[in-house]
Amino acid sequence: MQEYLTELRPSWGNRMAGIEGLRAIAALSVVLYHVKLDATTQDYTGPIGNLLAFADQGLTLFFVLSGFLLFRPFATAVLQNRPLPSVRRYAFNRFLRIAPAYLAIFVVAALIFGAVYIQGSTHGMGADNIGRLTDPGKILANILLVQTYIPGYVMSGLGVSWSLTAEIAFYVALPLIALHAARAVKSGRNRVAALCLAPVDDRGRACAYDLG
């Protein structure tokens, strides 16, 4: 197990080789996808069409990278039988990562300029569904980023914020998964722990963890 422990270093506060390049690919993919979606009506075919059609997976890559980097310190602690990182600090860092920028953009777009979706996706995504949010319930739901869970509110406000709702769900689940893995290791349920820790195995082999 030692060879794996030397590889699983906490990633908070430093950068990992290769990750920045993947982030650049993910960001460029998202930009290309939205340019194709919102700024052109041309139907591309051939290699360019295939590339643009696949560009929406840039967001998937962002999710994978985020999960890998955030879970890595927790997995390191479990594998080295150390206390888990501070959940309070982790939650505060995630809050600072999302809330200030999102709330500022939401207030400007939804309450000042009136440039957001005023109804849910069931009312369509056309120009007639764009305006200023006035419904207190929708405003509160969007501020708390829970609109995706409320029928009729889905895709209201900033349409792209649905991805933040998904991120927050993962942020909540991550320390719970780590806690379950830590308890599994202590109780000798190594297969359960291996499944929980598999995402951080650089070689992609859950069976490589000899936790016994």
16: left (phi over 0), alpha (psi -120 to 50) or beta: beta
pLDDT at 194: 61
With vertex at residue 71, the alpha carbon angle to CA 68 and CA 76, rounded to the nearest 5 degrees, is 110
**22-42 residue pLDDT tens:** 888 888 988 888 787 766 666
Domain ranges for the chain? 16-83, 87-207
Cβ neighbours of residue 210 under 8 Å, at least 6 residues apart? 1
100-155 pLDDT, tens digit per residue, is: 999 999 999 999 999 999 988 777 777 888 999 999 999 999 999 999 999 889 99
Q: Which residues of 154-173 are buried (b: 16+ CB within 10 A; e: fewer)?
A: bbbbbeebbeebebbeebee
- 179, pLDDT greater than 50: yes
Region of residue 104 (phi > 0: left; psi between -120 and 50: alpha; otherwise: beta): alpha
DSSP-derived letter for residue 107 is I
Consecutive H or E run containing 162: helix 162-186
